[in-house]
Structure 1
Amino acid sequence: PSASPATNPLAKVSTDFFESTPDLTCIADGDRFVRLNSRWSELLGWSDEHLLSSSFMDFVHEDDRAATLEQLAALAQGEEVVAFENGYATADGEFKQLLWNAHTDMGSGLIIASAHDVTAARQAEASREHTARVLGVLSELQERYLAEGLTRDWWDHALAEILSITESSFGFIGRIERDEDDAAYLVTYAVTNIAWNEWSRALFDEFQTKGLEFRNHETLFGVTLSTGEFVIANDPTNDPRAGGLPEGHPPLGCYAGIPLFAAEGLVGMIGLADRDNGFSSDQFDEFTPLFLALGQIIALDRSNQTIQRSTFLSATSAAAGRAIRAAADRKGALAELVGATLKLNAAAQVEYYAVVGNDPQMQLISPDAEQSGPSKPRSLHPEACIALMTGEPHISRATGSARERCEHLSDSQNDTICINVRTSGEDFGVIVTTIPPAPEDPTTETMYGATDPTAELLPTLVQLASGLAEFSLANDISRRALSDPLTGLANRTRFAQAISAALNRNDRRADPFSVILIDLDKMKSINDRFGHPAGDAVLVAVGKAIAVTLREDDTLARFGGDEYAVLLHECDLEQLQNAGHRIHSALNSIPIEGDGSVHASLGGIVVSDNDSTWHEIYRAADSALYAAKQAGGNKAQLGDLR
């Protein structure tokens, strides 16, 4: 017979702690698990038997084992572990990042711990940091261009930066030229020095003065030259597209050929080689702004346009790009984009269409509703825009054929530039800029020294689109990282931040605040009887019902599953009891077909001491919630933090 919770510490912990949290929880004796909740097998894919029969150190990532052993030693000394992070192996060979809180029960000597899965958050941070690094490289190259122009040193530096951010060992950047038979060949701007004999050293020295020429199409980079295709070969020696290497050339472990496009088509390419673990097409999505900018730079250089340094991606557009990235909201970001464009061409009209909800059409979104005339479409179907269909900026010329113009354009008297706004490989918007014809007087030059105002604006718009993409990505990541995807409420992380802010407010008066944990009593039966879609609908309805009982500055969060949390500012015990009654009444008014209404247990505490920690607050509210459920459910246990 099992002991009661009152006499068995392990049973008490498993009842109080295990079943009321959405996190991974465990009890361990030394380096072995004694008990686990179901989240372990759900997240890692291992069976309970396998987890319980092994040392948990067997699952810890080798890079984290030393630090994990240090934490175990600290626990053995009676210290508490807070916010320690390590990687745990899954059954399919991957790793999950877990954020730990743990302490040792001094009565039994057992370790009691909980771990929160932060894998998605860490991946989002890494993606954001990588995107920021790419855009930082682009910004730095633009600033160097303004300072020194397109010199050999500039191209060498650009190649070095590309090799660094792609983690490649070798590479080149070159422009596409055509011979008298209209056959494409490559002229390099920059190439890594991999000379292996006297002949190749002489060839590299020749490059230093005029650039190397490559005309052989029977090679991997020849595929890009002749077709404009992106090429990835992780086994170049045996790739059927490879035509071999010059005698003595060092072998290549992997190769990527990246086409560079401008408005007129393929203008250049980048070749990269020898990256650990090879190349994949997905990894290059985040480099799109950089590749687009390099394509524009090559196009301008190849056509021998006389461009003043201060006007190519000028200080105006560079400052606007920074302002877009730092904007407080999308309206502010769009205002910066429109303002910068009008400074460069006062006659231009700028519109931005973006995905809104599940609507298949992109909707017109403008900081100035008056800018677009009544004849302008208020929505745009992605299939009607060539830029969205091809994934590349597109110019619809007034003099071009109908096939060369986007179908969404009703104005055929002006040129129009469409630039897709993309993050993580997905288009979520398009910038549509209409430009009046160039002046008839051929002596009238634009600020690029050319008579084509459309070509003049294109590189600037590409830069501004990159800024808008970075702004949108950063804000979307922030939203997803702090929101529950089902209900749109704050998630556990956002709620903990709100608690921390409440505890650390310098202007806090003597007024206490309160925290309520809410657990629905019958969600399993609802899911079993009506299915999970119906259960999800109930979870959404519960969030809405609780929200209407709260004040504007209170915080409502869903922790996952059927658990919610509420932070009530300036709330004493009497106000807490009133709030609990309002919440109970609101939830009991949600009908469940054939089963009355939603029932929920509430555990709430008043926090008067701002020296408390979030862990202490959660544990106290969780204990109150447990008492309410033990009393039969659909009850509230509310009191002071003790």
Structure 2
Amino acid sequence: MISRPVEATPNHDDAARLKALQSLMLSQAIEADFQAELHRFAGLAAAAFKMPLAMVSALEERTFRVLGSHGIPVSSLPAEDSFCRTAVLNNAPLLIPDTLADEHWSGNPNVLGDAGIRFYAGVPLRADQGIAVGTLCLLDTESRPDFSEGSMALLQQWAEMIGRELHQRVRRNALLIERELFAEGPLAVVLWDPEKRHLTFQSENLAAAIGPAALAALKPGVAFEQIIHPADRHEFRAVMRSHIDHPERRVELSYRLAQTGRSDHWIRQVSWGEKRVEGNDPQIRGYLLDETRQKQLESRVTAARERLMLAVESAQLGTFDQDLTTSERVLNPRAAEIIGFRTEEMDTHFDFWTSRVHPEDLADVDAQIRRNQQLGLKAGLQTLEYRIRHRAGHYVWVQSCFRVTKITPTGEHLRVVGTLMDITNRKREELMRNRQRGLLDVLNSAQSSFLLTRNMHEACNSLFQPLLKITDSRFGFIGIVGHDPDGRQYIDLPATSDLSWNDRTREMYAEMAGGRRSMRFYDLDNLFGHVVTSGQVVCTNEPGSHPASKGLPPGHPTIDSFLGIPISFNGHVTGMIGLANAPEGYDADLAAALQPLSVALAALIHARELEVERQKTAEELERLATTDELTGLCNRRHFLEQARAALARAERDKLPLGLALLDLDHFKQINDRYGHAGGDAVLRHFSALAATKLRGTDVLARIGGEEFAVLMHNTDAEGAALVLERLRSAIEQSVLEFEGHELSVHVSVGWVLVGSPPERIEELLASADAALYRAKSEGRNRVISAQA
């Protein structure tokens, strides 16, 4: 336990602490019901320890944010000179039974000032890795020498209980956001109890993945494996057990559900163990996807392959016979059909075949040929998979099985025979599985980034490059739809490839890459904009011939293929994903595979819109709470808050401070003669003119009907008198035109300079008010000092 105040040193990692605050979601607004709970905790702590004051707080950059309190009616406190700062930076409990008797604290402003704190006991609130982020503290204006070590230990238990509540809140909020993200997509999210293997959480769309019948069978407490096909349960149990021993490992598993119809229902599962959080039992998290259709396709491909192999054995399908001395290659009708030809149309020279092999696969084909030349008959049956160009221009995948069958006594190869099988469908499905796996990681990354930072641009950028890689796209962008104040629609690009083609677009891209702004485009009358305006997927491998195409600006990189997917929420397009120039083009399967990403981005965009709206509402409420509606000046409450803070700074830094009260002379006569509209006009006129005569550091406020106040920072008696006389004179010489009348107004001023020792703000106001009364009594339209 410590009691000495501390200064920030390199050992106090502010960055780690602020990051820990983010991880606990304490760097953003706290829900009202949770804050009420923290207020209740503080009240219970105060009652339990018989203290008048208790507080739960979090240390931000320069202030303590009050999360919950009892007897402390403020939302934040300065961190400097605070007792709690010492407890946080030392990450240790702090007990001061009598602050006046403690040599380290007896001179503290919180002890000698208005607060008059004589007792303090505080213990740190900790995030992960034991990082202290705030405190639970008790305070009293009387010393408490009877507060024992046992009481401190009990207070520590209270702090640990609050810490568990903070972690539980993070978990609840994360589950709520995850629930929103996946509610409309094909991926279902579940949590398992690792021992009993029943569900502790399921997303609303679980029925879409496992079917209504299986969902109905999952009654509370029923182990999940009961809905799995008996033949597949053993593997499921093994995976669940592995998560207990190795929770960090992600495991993919496919299994059938217990049969409810004539065909199997297949589920693809990706799962891992979640690390234990203090106060929480470990859990297993999983994503479930219905892969019945994919399994059916795989089954059909397997059956087709078996039939093909049977045909190959009888030399009926996909065969070739190559004479190595002449390079003549003879194919049967099926082998020629694979690449779109009839046998009589094909050039029989081997070079014709190799000229159509995909450039990226040609080296593998050449290497296999050389290997056969080296090994001859010893090479045995060889298998090679590669792409070859179809007559129509696209590439198909083929699997070639071949062997050398004739060789001369001197080792020269004379003949190779083999089979060809079209495996394009299998390769396409392998690609789709890899894409689905990659998209799961991308979705998880984007979700984690957004939950941590609440920054949509960072979330988009975290998934952008992986998205290009998954889709094999050279260019792309993620766009968010917005409207400017004039109602014009635009696309904002938080993440995009460098497609700059002139000085203007290069400058825009440089500013976006530097984080200064995002790229914004208003012209939606083109292929890209058509995705937003129509709300439809655009998939074309001939962009120039698409009806929505308007060509490209001079110098723009060529677009050979384009896939545009709208991002929609509740029927409204809120953004789009644009991809271009995949070597193999785009198809409807890829568009369908990207729909879960579109749904997740729509949820993130909507969540961000709600956050922005909440911030705007909070800012407007803050403005209304601190501003006089008629004049736009500070209101009385906000002025008093600033005055108290200024008084504390003046005392601490030994700087002069002046306070003045101003009252418009004969204002009632103006109201009686010209009505409230005239009175309001005079008040606005005075406020605007007075603001121009004060210094930038001075604070002007309306604190009553025709009564105003001025706070003058770092001002001695001579300077204060000069400023106030200049203001009075300007008001006296001004004339207000109102409905054909010329109105003039005078002002009486009473002011006071903070003395030594400084008075309380109430005493300063009383002194200034007495001086103002003298100014009124001595004829009005004058400036009187309380010290005169």
TM bracket, shorter-chain basis: 0.3 to 0.5
Question: What's the TM-score once normalised by structure 2's chain length?
Answer: 0.36
Q: In terms of Rg, which structure is larger?
A: 2
Question: What's the TM-score once normalised by structure 1's chain length?
Answer: 0.43
